Amino acid sequence: MTHPVTNPTAPSALPSEVLHYTAFSTDPAGGNRAGVVLDASALDDAEMVAIAAELGYSESAFVTPAPQADDARTFRLRFFSPKAEVDFCGHATVATAVALGEQLGAGDYTFLTNAGPVPITVTASGEGLRATLTSVPPQVYDVAPDDVAEALAALDWLPGELDAALPPRISYAGVRHLVLAAATRERLADLDYDFDRLLTLMRALDLTTVQLVWRASETVFHVRDPFPVGGVVEDAATGAAAAAFGAYARELGLVPEQATLTLHQGHDMGSPSLLEVTLREGEPGVRVTGAAVRV
């Protein structure tokens, strides 16, 4: 299904309809879906959010030529949830990069987002195209005990169900996420939260998602991401939160300065996703890699 978008004033070689991709999966039945408009030049903000709302995906991406860019592979990229614009979205970035790779070829791209420039590398593999984004420089913040208590109350989690080795923090790698670590896989799997109560807290703390994690091994984690601020109960794959979590793990010394983390997401939703997070010594940004396929 496509949604035609005409653009009479700015002819382009790129498609102007809404393309449908799922990111962080090579299986169309898995991953997190995103709409991608490769030529959104004729759309205003209201039309973009209306398209995102009609699609109903957690986010959709809208591409326009980058102003005053000398590089033909530099684009302005904006993201909209069904409710509002989002400064940065990882899964829609990966979906857009793969869509552009299919049109223009593998290689390096730059996306100019509201959070800042995001370099992208698209590579070919035996299972199709993969994209690696490098986040803007991340930051990790302490979180007030009262805010943690309110988040746990909204989630219906008990303080004793947290993993003390992974303390709560707010982490930013384009947008802000509250990281909470469950002590058991069973606790993570049982997610039934108070949507409005968590939404209120997230708005107060300027959060995009809550990154719920369970550590399976030194570098393997299972994650879930409630996203009520976008009008979505849960994200099936969240690249922005994956980047923020990589920054969190590095800041707290949970992993080496140079490491590759594997994040499994979406399994409890029936939409398995695989996210690879790479930390490089001396590189402030966090790399997130995943596949994307058209659906």
pLDDT in tens, 221-274: 999 999 999 999 999 999 999 999 999 999 999 999 999 999 999 999 999 999
Q: Is 38 helix (H, G, I), strand (E, B) or coil?
A: coil
Distance CA 176, CA 240 (A): 9
Reported as type and span, the H/E element at residue 148 is helix 145-155
Helix (H) or strand (E) holding 34: strand 32-37
Q: Is it the case that residue 6 has pLDDT exceeding 80?
A: no
Per-residue exposure over 60-90, b if at least 16 CB sit within 10 Å of its own CB, e if not: bbbbbebeeeeeebbbbbbbbbbeeebbbbb
Q: What is the pLDDT of residue 67?
A: 81
pLDDT of 15 higher than 80 = no
- The residue with tokens 């983390």 is 261
DSSP, res 243:
H
Q: What is the pLDDT of residue 69?
A: 67
Residue located via tokens 């199709």: 128
Look-up of token digits 């708005």: 203
Domains located in the chain, CATH noted: 18-134 (3.10.310.10), 139-294 (3.10.310.10)
Q: Which residues pair with 291 in a beta bridge?
A: 130
pLDDT band (50, 70, 90) for residue 70: confident
What's the mean per-residue pLDDT of the chain?
A: 93
* Average pLDDT of the residues in 91-101: 98
For residues 92 and 61, the answer to whether their CB atoms sit within 8 Å is yes
Tell me, what amino acid is at 36? V
Question: Are the C-beta atoms of 255 and 239 separated by less than 8 Å?
Answer: no
pLDDT band at 10 (very low <50, low <70, confident <90, very high): very low
Reported as a single tens digit per residue, the pLDDT across 113-164 is: 999 999 999 999 888 999 999 999 999 999 999 999 999 999 999 999 999 9
For residue 162, what is the DSSP state? B
